[in-house]
Amino acid sequence: MFTKLAFIEERYEELSQKISDPEIIADQNKWRKLCKENSDITPIVEKYREYKKAKEAIESSQEMLEEKPDKDFEELLLLEIEENKEKIAQLEEDLKILLIPKDPNDEKNVIVEIRGGTGGEEAALFAGSLFRMYSMYAENHGWKIDIMNSNPTELGGYKEITFTVEGDGAYSRLKYESGVHRVQRVPETESGGRIHTSAATVAVLPEVEEVEFEINANDLRIDVFRAGGPGGQCVNTTDSAVRVTHIPTGLVVSCQDEKSQHKNKDKALKVLRSRLYEFYESQRNDAISQERKSQVGSGDRSERIRTYNFPQGRVSDHRINLTLYKIEAIMNGDLDEIIDSLITHYQSEKLKNTQD
């Protein structure tokens, strides 16, 4: 580990000089790439230098102890040595985590798809509640949300809704939300006051740029149709809605939220590109699926990941056996405690795998 850290520090020094070189600054693409690399390794170098400083402090204290100081000063030196040893132990753990290979998608924007599952109208209402929860979470982080496509119901829920979340590190935090979310509550549609269980599925995809993944136009069938909505809402008088079918895989994406056919087509292709990227990545990773599961969870949309129990005011994440009695705050976008716990858990799993 320390050989690797010494190499990273050396690379950091090299990069610091390069990004100040006028010739490199003139080549903006190269300069941005080097700046990104420099930014990525800066936290590792800072932590490593902190580690080295603590080691030097211990050596210095031990040298002074050899000079047989008076009792008070000796006690002070021994205390400093003990404090720095504890600090080193923690820094070593921090460095191990920092050296875990990063998910290359972590800094990307995301596309989130929420679909009402079992439970009829109540499932659609819950899908709407989840959309509101993620919208408020995004707002808390200063991220921007843009609805790509939606299929609202009469009571204000969604059969399905697709939206983008744009902001620094959006995927690094929201990627843990993929899976089945279950709700237990007395639904607005239930007059008898009985607790009802329903579910919605959430899929979180990294937004993929055209330069990263190109779609062959010959593989696409594009159909246009008239947009519609409940109670006559969102109904256009022109064929502005777009349905894009990727013929080789059978994946279909529809978009009707924009009044412009061109904008709907662009949004549909953006979603399709991310779905195809996920589809081909999952195929590529079949051989190492167990490793992938241990790193970021399976991401399987059929996997029940969380239950929201309104009568008891609790939210339980089944992957890490975490239960919080703050359902109102969570539904208002206070997700950080859950997501931080998930990140810590999966970092520990990754660390175990790298040490095995």
Closest to 98 in 3D by CA, of 288, 350, 294, 337: 350
* Topology alike, domains 2-98 and 110-348: no
pLDDT in tens, the chain (356 residues): 788 888 889 999 999 999 999 998 898 888 988 998 888 889 889 999 999 999 999 999 998 988 888 888 888 999 999 999 999 998 988 888 788 777 778 888 999 999 998 778 889 999 999 999 999 999 999 999 999 888 898 888 999 999 999 998 899 999 999 999 999 998 766 666 788 889 999 999 888 876 566 778 888 888 887 766 554 444 455 567 888 888 888 888 888 877 778 888 888 888 888 888 788 777 666 644 443 344 334 334 457 899 999 999 999 999 999 999 999 999 999 999 999 999 988 888 877 666 54
- Phi and psi at 179, nearest 5°, equal 145, -170
Q: Where are the domains of the chain?
A: 2-98, 110-348
Instruction: Characterize 18-50 residue by residue with b for buried, 16 or more Cβ atoms within 10 angstroms of its Cβ, and e for exposed.
Output: bbeeeebeeeeeebeebeeebeebeebbebbee
Using DSSP, state whether 151 is helix, strand or coil: strand
pTM > 0.75: yes or no: no
In the chain, which residue ranges form alpha helices assigned H by DSSP?
Answer: 2-18, 22-26, 28-65, 71-98, 120-140, 170-174, 261-284, 289-296, 327-331, 336-355
User: Yes or no: is domain 110-348 CATH 3.30.70.1660?
Assistant: yes
* Residue that the structure tokens 């008088």 belong to: 237
Sign of CA pseudo-dihedral 73, 79, 82, 86: negative
Which strand (E) or helix (H) includes residue 323? strand 322-324
What's the chain's Rg over C-alpha atoms?
26
Terminal Cα distance for the chain, rounded: 15
Class of domain 2-98: mainly alpha
